Amino acid sequence: MYSPEILRRADTRQSLPRLGGMARPDGVVIVSERFWAFARRDGKLIEGRMPSTPASLARVPLARGLARLAMSVAPLFRRSGVAKKGERRILLLAIFAPFAFVFLPSTYALIGWAAVTVGLILWIFRGRTLNLHGAEHRAIAAVEQRSLESTWAGTAMPSRFSPRCGTNFAALVLPVTVVAERIWPFQAALWTPAVVTVLSLALTMELWRAVQESSRRGARLLLLPGLALQRATTREPEVHETRVALQAVASVLRRELD
């Protein structure tokens, strides 16, 4: 539940954990490296701990990126109510179905990829997800700007666009995959599309991490396509929707600051 003290404490802290999140049709998930919280529109709050990246993978290029990618969706696959059983099955089907397309002729495989992608996008952004996606970004920006209390009150309105949104990752992974397919040095085999896809995801995670850590303006230019795409994947949230995201933020920060 909302606690003015938590937001007030966070606003006065010089250092706070980096937060991420995801929007759902019925609420917002906020995560730190250690904790996650799912605040629902009906007022219910679900809390949990994030799995840690295995130490053996944390410093291994490419592997660490795939591990972080897997960890980022961990709250969805917990039996905790973040995603219902049927939704988890849809997600798993969307993740693994494209690997079956390697057995199809290229034209049919392309149609299959397009159908799965469009279907997944429509399913993910159903209902009020677009508005809650904007609320998620606004709440995280409020943490970074130390304007949590004023954002809750509605007197501050941090940006609904985020340089660390997964939309930016998606905008990067597409050209990386195309380039990887063009320069693949080995003879094409049945398993080649699957390997190229996994390798592209790993390379994009490394690139995304480098861009996030870089202070060079040129590196930040790589985020522009994703930021532009967020005009389609977010909508201006209402104050009560931003408060849903802030409920999740407060839950995570309460455990981080204790």
Tens digit of each residue's pLDDT (9 = 90 or more) over 154-209: 999 999 999 888 888 888 888 888 888 888 888 877 677 778 888 988 999 888 88
Q: Residue range 147-155: average pLDDT?
A: 96
The CA angle 229-235-241, to the nearest 5 degrees, is 140
Task: Give the pLDDT score at 86.
Answer: 82
CA distance 116 to 7: 40
**Average pLDDT of the chain?**
87
One-character DSSP codes across 196-249:
HHHHHHHHHHHHHHHHHH---HHHHGGGHHHHHHHHHH--PPPHHHHHHHHHHH
Please tell me which residue, 112 or 99, carries the higher pLDDT value. Answer: 112
Q: Provide the whole-model pTM.
A: 0.85
CA distance 184 to 81: 41
Task: Give the pLDDT score at 1.
Answer: 58
CA distance 100 to 255: 42
For residue 114, name the pLDDT band (cuts at 50, 70, 90): confident
Q: Residue range 16-35: average pLDDT?
A: 94
Maximum mean pLDDT: which of 11-25, 47-61, 77-91: 11-25
* C-alpha closest to that of 8 among 153, 146, 154, 141: 146
**Torsion from C-alpha of 122, 123, 128, 133, nearest 10 degrees:** -80
